[in-house]
């Protein structure tokens, strides 16, 4: 691809270099936003892949184990699974209740004091895990919302400069007007280039998080069901 058009003054690189200082600063800021968003997108994509892998393996062990202690012994292998966080929180509360509700029990099956307390612990753990997964996603939302307006600011400023140049040259011919307008519109293009991937990635990851949230809710119910069946 040629950087300069046949006329020598309408190539993309030429338009960027000839833009006003304000427009250049706007485009630089948008470029930084875009790069940081792409870095975040790749990081989050990698995290979700690890989450799916660890969750599948952990749930397999959880559903095939006969004792919670067996499950706890392998939790450190699957640190990327939010279900591990839920299990550890629920298991800790379960142990606390079994020890303090049956201090002198020498035989028989120990009983839990309150399933509702365990449920509240699981809900708090779910909130913590979701907060971890949502970390830094506000950066994508902010870029998606702000980048087009920042680009528009550069465009408006460029158009102002273009009309000022028209006034100085006292000519409104296409040869005079077109370069200035083209330089101004480059900033809007930068804004859209940053915003479109950001909004698409944000919606994609939020949809993933909703799926993880539903899976955690199912796991919580499964955990409570086991506790209710064996300790009440």
pLDDT tens digits for range 106-156: 556 778 788 899 999 999 999 999 999 999 999 999 999 999 999 888 888
Q: State the Cα–Cα distance between residues 216 and 123, nearest whole angstrom.
A: 9
Is the pTM higher than 0.75? The answer reads yes
Q: State the Cα–Cα distance between residues 136 and 116, nearest whole angstrom.
A: 32
DSSP 65: -
Residue that has been written with the tokens 């975040």 in this structure: 40
Q: State the Cα–Cα distance between residues 9 and 209, nearest whole angstrom.
A: 48
How many Cα atoms occupy the beta-carbon half-sphere of 193 within 13 Å? 17
Question: What are the extents of the domains in the chain?
Answer: 19-101+110-231
- Residue 2 tokens, joined: 């040629």
What are the Cα distances from residue 136, in Å, to 1, 36, 37, 39, 140?
A: 36, 11, 10, 11, 8
- List of residues 6+ apart from 114 with CB closer than 8 A: 97
CA dihedral 87, 90, 95, 101 (to 10 degrees): -160
Q: State the Cα–Cα distance between residues 80 and 59, nearest whole angstrom.
A: 13
Average pLDDT over residues 187-212: 93
Indicate the range of 31-35, 40-44, 163-167, 213-217 predicted with least confidence. 163-167
29 contacts 150 by C-beta, under 8 angstroms: yes
């Amino acid at each position: 691809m040629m950087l300069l058009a046949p006329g020598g003054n309408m190539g993309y690189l030429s338009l960027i270099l000839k833009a006003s200082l304000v427009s250049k600063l706007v485009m630089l800021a948008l470029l930084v936003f875009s790069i940081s968003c792409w870095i975040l997108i790749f990081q989050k994509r990698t995290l979700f892949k690890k989450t799916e892998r660890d969750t599948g393996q952990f749930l397999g062990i959880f559903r095939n184990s006969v004792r919670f202690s067996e499950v706890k012994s392998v939790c450190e292998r699957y640190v990327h699974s939010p279900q591990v966080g839920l299990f550890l929180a629920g298991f800790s509360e379960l142990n606390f209740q079994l020890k303090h509700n049956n201090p002198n029990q020498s035989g028989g099956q120990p009983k839990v004091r309150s399933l509702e307390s365990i449920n509240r612990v699981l809900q708090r753990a779910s909130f913590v895990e979701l907060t971890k997964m949502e970390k830094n996603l506000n950066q994508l939302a902010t870029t998606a919302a702000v980048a087009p307006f920042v680009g528009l600011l550069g465009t408006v400023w460029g158009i102002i400069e273009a009309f000022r140049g028209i006034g100085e040259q006292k000519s409104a011919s296409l040869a005079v007007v077109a370069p200035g307008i083209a330089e101004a519109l480059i900033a809007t293009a930068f804004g859209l280039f940053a915003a479109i991937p950001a909004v698409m990635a944000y919606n994609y990851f939020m949809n993933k998080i909703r799926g993880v949230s539903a899976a955690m809710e199912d796991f919580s119910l499964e955990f409570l069901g086991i506790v209710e069946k064996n300790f009440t």
